[in-house]
């Protein structure tokens, strides 16, 4: 490589590394593109923002039951232990050295599978998406898009 | 007709809610395991306001670069050499002009910095440090072929630059006025070398002049010696000298989470732990601030952390003969705590568990928290909060498999007190913690704390509502098990060989409760 970090070079330099050294410097950097945790976080923040909007709507109606739902019922699906496990797996993958990447990818696949299964079997997810307050959540769709991006990235 | 009209006990707030919406509301309440409040007439849960920010304010950020590079006057003098050496050729004792200039500037720096802070010439000292840097540069140029001397000159320059940074931090501290009448310029710089914010310093109250009784052999942990001091204002506090560096004595648990041994800022970690406890609304760690006390060994005034005395006793004690740690009897056999005390014990231990996951506490062994059980009253206090807030622990859900030397129970707490839950849910890291933590630790440590806090909040928000405990005596786990809180925490485990546990209660008290037949 000419000067500095191998990942700092041009595409020509990268191709040279692949051809001559049999080494992809982008792969050696430990991060080949957008962190997959970021993909998940963006999706979650988008959903959470819509849930916040739903929460505001519920609280605005001055109804104790809707207040309860706003306080306890909205973030259970995007929070909790399974979310922590998923985020830990995504974070581990982003930080994994090339040699550990395959194992980390397997762990991500497992965590995504478990999380997705949890979401799609949850009547609460369906209820939030179908809420009668005119606030579009799109929880399942948004998460599925993110999961597809994540699975594509780790393949 | 709608459900609202069929149930006259329901509050009229429901009049704004359509039948479809009411049906949705009932379904969702059922899914999240809660009952309708409309028939009971109970008020909805109160979300507590977050605590106010501290006054006076701390600086906006910590100047970490100061700590590792700054030398004492004696170290500076040692670097450059103390006395003239013998010339090889002429047999005369002599030193170069450049050497003498460096020594003179070091002496001038030391003299200027000995002035009290209020009378000190900050500009003069800043200029004197520039003069020292220039003199060291000339000394280096004169001896550029001598690695020892160029290395010494580089060290002097680095230290002088660090002192300039510290001096700037002294000037910029918003609480300068709180300390200026009570310390010298040199001590003020030493405060900054230890990462202290003047807002946390009470040199006016806690100094040797105001100390009425001192026990310098009060106790010691693996890492620190401590003194017990009774002050004229009636406060009895524990003093622990604040070291600049933990090199050579740092606990492996501290290095495992990335605490810089050259600049550990242990006192600040205790202050930050108090900030988290206050955020949770739980008095589960000592009140802390910085003060001054004369070291009985060196005879010199030390700056150190003062902590309120925690009542009660630690869970474990070290046998003075064998050095083996053993578990204490926390109450006389056959005379267990009352039901009220048991509930308070679980509430406070679980609250300390939550505080520990947020702070990333690594060292909550049985010697690092105290429990006082006095009739129905219980006080749990987490002490020695040095090993936490590491930059390399971003996940609160930690265990011994990840950090071998960790002694805190593993995993996330399985239950949460309702008051703590309300505080966590109502709080916001950027609003409630970042302003307090930024002056106490590095930016990377604040970022890790943000991650742990947000994941902990997410875990709390995601806990099934049945695990938010409003009454520790009456609480039962969901059907069919219907366990009491203590049985539930016991069932969650001691954490030994596991990545989860029933927290401090599960590890340290469940077995004793079982022996007493009160589980």
SS (H, E, C) A44-55: HHHHHHHHHHHH
Band (pLDDT 50/70/90 cuts) for residue B151 is confident
Contacts of B23 (CB under 8 A, 6+ apart): B3
Complex-level ipTM: 0.76
In sequence order, what are the beta bridge partners of B379?
A: B372
| Per-residue pLDDT tens over the stretch B408-443 | 999 999 999 999 998 998 888 998 999 999 999 999
Angle among Cα B88, B92, B98 to the nearest 5 degrees reads 85
More reliable by pLDDT, A59 or B71: A59
pLDDT in the model for residue B223: 46
In the 3-class helix/strand/coil scheme, how is B308-333 assigned residue by residue? ECCCCEECEEECCCCCCEEECCCCCC
The tokens for B420 are 């703590």
- Residue B217 and residue B71 share a domain: no
Q: What are phi and psi of B293, to 5 degrees?
A: -155, 145
Which DSSP category does B403 fall into?
S
pLDDT in the model for residue A81: 64
The tokens for B274 are 């108090």
Question: Closest Cα of chain A to B37: distance in Å?
Answer: 6
Mark yes or no for CB contact A65/B36 under 8 Å. Answer: yes
Residue B153 near residue B143, CB atoms below 8 Å: yes
User: What is the spatial distance between Cα A109 and Cα B339, in angstroms, rounded to a whole number?
Assistant: 47
Mean pLDDT is lowest, of A121-135, B109-123, B337-351, for: B109-123
- Mean pLDDT, chain B, rounded, equals 85
pLDDT in the model for residue A12: 61
User: B212 burial class (0-12, 13-18, 19+ CB within 10 angstroms)?
Assistant: exposed
What range defines the domain where residue A12 resides? 1-30
* Mutate which: A65, A66, A127, A128, vs B, most B CBs within 10 A: A65
| Per-residue pLDDT tens over the stretch B315-330 | 998 877 787 888 999 9
CATH number, domain with residue B271: 3.30.200
pLDDT in the model for residue B47: 46
pLDDT in the model for residue B481: 85
Residue A99 has pLDDT above 70, yes or no: yes
Residue B315 domain-assigned (yes or no)? no
Average pLDDT over residues B295-314: 90
Which has the closest alpha carbon to B231: B213, B255, B257, B258? Answer: B213
Q: CA nearest A122 in B: which residue?
A: B31
Burial B260-283 (b: 16+ CB within 10 A, else e): beebbbbbbbbbbbbbbbbbbbbb
Band (pLDDT 50/70/90 cuts) for residue A13 is low
Question: Closest Cα of chain A to B330: distance in Å?
Answer: 33
Give contacts of B394 with chain A, Cβ < 8 Å: 91
- Structural domain count, chain B: 4
Residue A70 near residue B37, CB atoms below 8 Å: no
Question: Closest Cα of chain B to A148: distance in Å?
Answer: 23
Give contacts of A66 with chain B, Cβ < 8 Å: 17, 21, 25
- Residue A54 and residue A108 share a domain: yes
- Structural domain count, chain A: 2
- Residue B355 and residue B481 share a domain: yes
Residue B284 near residue B351, CB atoms below 8 Å: yes
More reliable by pLDDT, B186 or B385: B385
Percent of chain B with pLDDT over 70: 87
pLDDT in the model for residue B87: 53
- Residue B257 and residue B400 share a domain: no
- Residue A118 and residue A72 share a domain: yes
Note whether B5 contacts A: Cβ–Cβ < 8 A. Answer: no
* Mutate which: B13, B28, B452, B499, vs A, most A CBs within 10 A: B28
Residue B53 has pLDDT above 80, yes or no: no
- Residue B160 and residue B112 share a domain: yes
Residue A91 has pLDDT above 50, yes or no: yes
Percent of chain B with pLDDT over 90: 50
Residue B55 domain-assigned (yes or no)? no
Q: What's the CA dihedral at B453, B454, B455, B461 to 10 degrees?
A: 110
User: What is the spatial distance between Cα B403 and Cα A66, in angstroms, rounded to a whole number?
Assistant: 43
Residue B467 domain-assigned (yes or no)? yes
Residue B495 near residue B410, CB atoms below 8 Å: yes
Mark yes or no for CB contact B37/A88 under 8 Å. Answer: no
Residue B53 domain-assigned (yes or no)? no
Contacts of A60 (CB under 8 A, 6+ apart): none
- Residue A111 and residue A143 share a domain: yes
Residue B402 has pLDDT above 70, yes or no: yes
Residue B425 domain-assigned (yes or no)? yes
Residue B52 has pLDDT above 70, yes or no: no
- Residue A56 and residue A6 share a domain: no
3-state class of B142 per DSSP? Answer: helix
- Mean pLDDT, chain A, rounded, equals 77
User: What is the spatial distance between Cα B193 and Cα B302, in angstroms, rounded to a whole number?
Assistant: 13
Give contacts of B37 with chain A, Cβ < 8 Å: 64-65, 68
- Residue B155 and residue B34 share a domain: no
User: What is the spatial distance between Cα A54 and Cα A60, in angstroms, rounded to a whole number?
Assistant: 10
Mean pLDDT is lowest, of B2-11, B175-184, B499-508, for: B2-11
Note whether B480 contacts A: Cβ–Cβ < 8 A. Answer: no
Query: First and final CA of chain B: distance in angstroms?
Result: 50
- Residue B74 and residue B12 share a domain: no
Residue B40 domain-assigned (yes or no)? yes
pLDDT in the model for residue A123: 86
In sequence order, what are the beta bridge partners of B221?
A: none
Q: Where are the alpha helices (DSSP H) in B173-265?
A: 176-179, 185-193, 252-256
Question: Closest Cα of chain A to B281: distance in Å?
Answer: 19
More reliable by pLDDT, B66 or B479: B479
Window B:22-61, CB contacts with A under 8 Å: 24-29, 31-32, 34, 36-38, 42-45, 47
Note whether B464 contacts A: Cβ–Cβ < 8 A. Answer: yes
Q: Work out whether the CA dihedral B318, B323, B325, B329 comes out positive or negative.
A: negative
Note whether B463 contacts A: Cβ–Cβ < 8 A. Answer: yes
Window B:407-436, CB contacts with A under 8 Å: 412, 425
Query: First and final CA of chain A: distance in angstroms?
Result: 27
Average pLDDT over residues B157-184: 89
The tokens for B52 are 């106010």
Average pLDDT over residues B85-104: 66
| Per-residue pLDDT tens over the stretch B487-518 | 999 999 999 999 899 999 999 999 999 999 99
- Residue A54 and residue A17 share a domain: no
The residue whose two tokens read 């948004």 is A142
Residue B78 domain-assigned (yes or no)? yes
- Residue B482 and residue B353 share a domain: yes
- Residue B86 and residue B169 share a domain: yes
The tokens for B157 are 């320059």
- Residue B246 and residue B151 share a domain: no
Q: What are phi and psi of B379, to 5 degrees?
A: -130, 120
User: What is the spatial distance between Cα B31 and Cα B41, in angstroms, rounded to a whole number?
Assistant: 21
| Per-residue pLDDT tens over the stretch A15-66 | 544 454 444 444 443 345 578 888 988 998 899 889 988 988 888 887 888 8
What range defines the domain where residue B338 resides? 320-516
- Residue B165 and residue B103 share a domain: yes
Residue B462 near residue A76, CB atoms below 8 Å: yes
CB-nearest to B34 from A72, A87, A128 is: A72
Question: Closest Cα of chain A to B369: distance in Å?
Answer: 27
pLDDT in the model for residue B55: 60
Give the end of a domain, one of B308, B330, B353: B308
Q: What are phi and psi of B440, to 5 degrees?
A: -105, -20
Note whether B9 contacts A: Cβ–Cβ < 8 A. Answer: no
pLDDT in the model for residue B371: 97
| Per-residue pLDDT tens over the stretch B249-292 | 899 999 999 999 989 999 999 999 999 999 999 999 999 999 99
Residue B355 has pLDDT above 90, yes or no: yes
Q: What are phi and psi of B396, to 5 degrees?
A: -70, -20
Percent of chain A with pLDDT over 90: 9
Band (pLDDT 50/70/90 cuts) for residue B6 is very low
- Residue A16 and residue A26 share a domain: yes
* Mutate which: B42, B394, B458, vs A, most A CBs within 10 A: B458
Residue A7 near residue A26, CB atoms below 8 Å: yes
């Amino acid at each position: 490589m000419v000067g500095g970090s191998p990942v700092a070079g041009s595409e020509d330099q990268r191709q040279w590394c692949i051809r001559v050294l049999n080494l992809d410097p982008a792969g050696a950097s430990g991060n080949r593109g957008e962190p997959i945790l970021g993909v998940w976080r963006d999706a979650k923040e988008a959903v959470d923002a819509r849930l916040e909007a739903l929460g505001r709507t519920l609280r605005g109606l001055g109804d104790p039951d809707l207040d309860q739902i706003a306080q306890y019922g909205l973030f259970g699906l995007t929070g909790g232990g399974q979310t922590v496990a998923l985020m830990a797996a995504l974070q581990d993958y982003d930080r994994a050295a090339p040699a550990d990447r395959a194992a980390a990818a397997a762990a991500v696949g497992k965590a995504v599978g478990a999380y997705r299964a949890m979401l799609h079997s949850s009547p609460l997810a369906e209820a939030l998406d179908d809420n009668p307050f005119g606030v579009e959540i799109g929880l399942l769709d948004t998460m599925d898009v993110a999961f597809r991006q994540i699975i594509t990235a780790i393949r | 007709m709608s459900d609202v009209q069929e149930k006259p006990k329901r509050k009229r707030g429901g009049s704004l809610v359509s039948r479809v919406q009411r049906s949705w509301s009932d379904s969702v309440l059922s899914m999240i395991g809660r009952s309708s409040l409309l028939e009971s007439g109970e008020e909805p849960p109160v979300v507590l306001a977050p605590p106010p920010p501290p006054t006076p304010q701390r600086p906006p950020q910590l100047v970490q670069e100061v700590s590792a590079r700054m030398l004492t006057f004696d170290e500076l003098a040692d670097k450059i050499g103390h006395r003239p050496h013998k010339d090889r050729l002429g047999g005369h004792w002599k030193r170069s002009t450049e050497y003498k200039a460096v020594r003179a500037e070091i002496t001038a720096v030391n003299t200027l910095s000995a002035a009290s802070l209020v009378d000190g010439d900050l500009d003069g000292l800043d200029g004197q440090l520039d003069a020292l840097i220039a003199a060291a540069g000339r000394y280096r140029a004169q001896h550029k072929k001598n690695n020892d001397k160029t290395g010494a000159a580089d060290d002097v320059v680095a230290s002088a630059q660090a002192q300039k940074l510290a001096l700037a931090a002294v000037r910029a501290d918003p609480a300068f006025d709180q300390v200026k009448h009570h310390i010298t310029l040199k001590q003020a710089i030493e405060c900054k070398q230890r990462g202290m914010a003047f807002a946390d310093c009470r040199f006016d109250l806690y100094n040797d002049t105001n100390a009425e009784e001192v026990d310098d052999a009060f106790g010691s942990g693996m890492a620190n010696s401590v003194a017990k001091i009774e002050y004229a204002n009636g406060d009895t506090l524990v003093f622990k000298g604040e070291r600049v560096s933990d090199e050579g004595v740092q606990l492996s648990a501290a290095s495992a989470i990335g605490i810089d041994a050259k600049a550990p800022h242990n006192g600040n970690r205790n202050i930050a732990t108090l900030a988290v406890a206050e955020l949770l609304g739980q008095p589960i760690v000592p009140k802390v601030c910085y003060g001054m006390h004369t070291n009985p060994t060196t005879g010199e005034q030390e700056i150190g952390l003062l902590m309120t005395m925690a009542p009660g006793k630690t869970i474990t004690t070290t046998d003075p003969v064998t050095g083996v740690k053993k578990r204490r009897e926390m109450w006389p056999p056959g005379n267990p705590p009352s039901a009220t005390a048991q509930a308070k014990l679980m509430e406070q231990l679980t609250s300390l568990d939550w505080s520990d996951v947020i702070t990333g506490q690594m060292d909550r062994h049985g010697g690092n928290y105290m429990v006082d059980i006095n009739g129905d009253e219980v006080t749990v206090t987490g002490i020695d909060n040095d090993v936490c807030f590491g930059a390399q622990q971003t996940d609160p859900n930690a265990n011994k498999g990840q950090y071998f030397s960790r002694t805190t129970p593993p995993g996330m707490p399985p239950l949460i007190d309702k008051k703590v839950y309300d505080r966590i849910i109502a709080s916001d890291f950027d609003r409630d913690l970042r302003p307090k933590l930024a002056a106490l630790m590095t930016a990377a440590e604040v970022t890790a704390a943000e991650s742990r806090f947000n994941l902990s909040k997410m875990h709390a928000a995601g806990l099934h509502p049945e695990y938010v405990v409003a009454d520790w005596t009456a609480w039962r786990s969901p059907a069919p098990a219907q366990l009491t809180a203590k049985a539930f925490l016991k069932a969650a485990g001691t954490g030994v060989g596991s990545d989860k546990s029933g927290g401090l209660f599960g590890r340290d008290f469940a077995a004793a409760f079982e022996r007493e037949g009160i589980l």
